[in-house]
Amino acid sequence: MKKPFDITPIATFSNRLATLLDTQRETIDTITKSQKDDYATILKPMQDLEEALELFFTPLSHLNSVMNSEETQIAYEACLPLLSKFSSELAQNETLFYKIKQIQSDDPQEKRVIEHTVRDFILSGITLPNKEKKRLEEISLSLSELSNTFSQNLLNATKAYKLTIEDPNDVKGMPDADIQTSKIEIDGKTHYRFTLQTPSYLAYMTYGPNRNYRKTLSKAYSTRAPQNAEVIDKILKLKEEKAKLIGFENYAQYALESRDASTQDEVLAFLYTLADSALPQAKKELETLKKYAKESDGIEDFAGYDISYYEEKLKKAKFDFDDTMTKPYFEQSRVLQGLFDVLFELFEVKFEPIQMETWHSCVKVFDIVENGEFAGRIYFDLEARPEKQGGAWMHNWETHFVDSAGMCHFPSAFVVCNFSPSTLTLPSLLRHDDVVTLFHEMGHAIHHLFGRCRERAISGINGVAWDVVEFPSQFLENFAYEESILRQFGFHYDNGEPLPQTLIQKIKETKNFNAALGILRQVEFSLFDFMLHQKLHQADEVQMLLDSIREKTALLKPPAYNKFQHGFSHIFAGGYAAGYYSYKWAEVLSADAFFACLDPHKGFDKTKAKEYKTFILSKGGSEEMKHLYYVWLGREPQVESLAKLYEIDLL
């Protein structure tokens, strides 16, 4: 029997994909030419094909992200044009489009699938003349290849850089776990190596005492992958052309067709309101940091690479707290089990460990059990390694749905993070920020895994508007600050002592420390992304736009060498183009929902939590989120909840 995630022989993967796609073409051709015109014989089997393709291709795309190698890169890149061509052919199948357009159904889920499918056909240019359709196909192929190039350039640059430190004084005062992880032997002498991988980079930027090394690391990080400048120009040009071909004034307008937000002005007004409201407090926060750096270390020229370091020092001085104090209490396995316990209390769902071969020895696999029955599977890959892309994400694999033969399929998903890896002497220990990240990604995962729609196209996270997809993830991460939750898994990895009350209080007190500066930074990213897609920007115009936005949002002027955009993979290699604002947009929902479910004594209101699972999570994309939310609470989300969450006057 073939092992799970065994995609060997990898050299022939693209050939096997081509065979699968040809088989699907034949099935689609049969469906298209059929005299039947009902949902069951057209859209039902089409969703079966989507699931089959996802099952086959996801292992390669996943391994290319978490076990990146020359072989996975070559195979992945060989598959992109095949998938792009297949997708374009399907999107331009006029006969199928008009066949679907006339399907009638009284079933709400089926009606939703029909509505989304017709919309997506139109957004793909189905009604355009053949010449324009051909051009759209070329654009789609180029965009998929460019996105992969952007991502690979960034990963290669991240893997290539190493900073080696000889003097132990230059790591003095850093968390012991970070020091141990960075230790290497060179000619029999201990050195300390830091990289641009997230745990290593953040460790030195946050705790590294040598300012010159922080500057060096910061410069290396913000100048990664300069070749992405050319990639960005090409991506922007193609997206602008695509939007205009289909009939939109720009890519931002095109993107909003399938979002919760209605207009470009609505998005910009929302972001400027956040910026204007956060600005006064952000200025005070920065001045406090500058003053502290000057008084404690004589820093006259406070810079961006000083922010994280002095935030930690000031936090420790002001609250007698830093993240290293809680790290021994958050051992990875125990935190994960604690998260499962929380989810059981919230939703009455169990996570049972299973043994199976995966892509790496640190991967943990769990079956989801609901009402005593198997309901899905989840894979956790939580530790950093050189061949893994940085950051954290959830990726859905299988989807809950009922296929055309009446068989029920169960969902599965991957949760990937880059936490400090275990060593011979230490288990993997998480900062509290890491705990929040794990809760966040698990929020995405349960949105998909708890989906219970019959139709694949709207089950789990499928069919959910992009600007509300962060709602469930942000909702769950808020619980990672609650005392009753932290007490379930906060125990010292060595002696088993519980997380002290004083540290729990510190976590709460420091939660919104410098919150306004953080809001401004997110608004900066969001404005840059959205305005970048409102008209065509090329070459220096990209930097000029970012600089103009920073006049309002960046209280510290970044150095001229800073090319943040070259690493902005969310919008150039992910799905957030003209949609990075979604994080804050969804946060209004998540904050309001959090307070609706919060019980200050028990951690959460079980009745409301179960309703949240029933009315929000299980419904997937079957209805507009605005409507689902209103059905759940009988009202619209209150933006004041966002202000309450941050303890800041945002509005």
268's CB contacts (< 8 A; 6+ apart) are 527, 530, 531
Give the strand pairing for 162-165 and 189-195: antiparallel
DSSP category for residue 184: E
The amino acid that residue 119 corresponds to is R
Give phi and psi for 183, each to the nearest 5: -65, 135
Work out the number of other CB atoms within 10 angstroms of the CB of residue 513. 15
Write out the DSSP string of 388-411: S-SS-EEEE-S--EE-TTSPEE--
492's CB contacts (< 8 A; 6+ apart) are 328, 329, 498, 499
Write out the DSSP string of 199-266: HHHHHHHHH---HHHHHHHHHHHHT--TTHHHHHHHHHHHHHHHHHHHT-SSHHHHHHTTSSS--HHH
CA torsion through residues 165, 382, 460, 609, sign: negative
601's CB contacts (< 8 A; 6+ apart) are 484
Of 269, 278, 275, 303, the closest CA to residue 289 belongs to 303
Burial classification of residue 353, based on how many CB atoms lie within 10 Å of its CB (0-12 exposed, 13-18 middle, 19 or more buried) = exposed
Q: Which two tokens stand for residue 338?
A: 């604690």
Query: Which residues are the active-site residues?
Result: 441
Give the strand pairing for 364-370 and 373-383: antiparallel
Write out the DSSP string of 470-534: THHHHHHHGGGG-HHHHTTT-B-TTT-PBPPHHHHHHHHHHTTTTHHHHHHHHHHHHHHHHHHTT
Rounded CA-CA distance 482/474 in Å is 14
Rounded CA-CA distance 383/363 in Å is 9
Name the strands in the sheet holding 183-186, side by side, starting at the edge strand that comes first in the sequence: 162-165, 189-195, 183-186
